[in-house]
Amino acid sequence: MDGILNISKPRGETSFGVVAMVKRWSGERRVGHAGTLDPEATGVLPVCLGGGTRVIEFLVEATKAYRAQIELGVATDTYDASGKITQRGDASGISQEQLKSVLTSFCGLIQQTPPMYSAVKYHGKRLYELARAGIEVERKSRLTRIYHLELIDWQPPVVTIEVVCGKGTYIRSLAHDLGQALDCGANLKSLIRLRYGLFDIEDAVSLPQLERAFRYGYWQHFVYPIDVVLLHWAAIVVSPDTGRLIKNGRPLVLGNDAGSQETAYLKQYPGARSSLESHCRVYTLDGCFLGVLRFNPERGQWQPEKVFL
Phi, psi angle pair for 233, to nearest 5°:
-90, 155
Whole-number Å distance between alpha carbons of 70 and 46: 25
Q: State which H helix or E strand residue 64 sits in.
A: strand 64-72
Determine whether 118 is exposed, middle or buried from the number of CB atoms within 10 Å of its CB (0-12, 13-18, 19+).
Answer: buried
Active-site position among 2, 38, 80, 203 = 38
What is the Cα–Cα distance from 281 to 276, expressed in whole angstroms? Answer: 9
Upstream peptide bond of 46 is cis (omega within 30 degrees of 0): no
Confirm whether 38 is a catalytic residue: yes
- Element containing residue 289 per DSSP (H, E): strand 289-296
Q: What CA–CA distance (Å, rounded) separates 216 from 204?
A: 19
Q: Which residues are CB-neighbours of 232 under 8 A, at least 6 positions away?
A: none
Please list, in sequence order, all residues whose beta carbon lies within 8 angstroms of the beta carbon of residue 250, skipping any fewer than 6 positions away.
Answer: 304
Determine contact, residues 175/83, Cβ cutoff 8 Å: no
Largest CA distance in the chain: 73
- Phi, psi (5° rounding) for residue 102? -70, -40
What amino acid positions are annotated as catalytic residues? 38
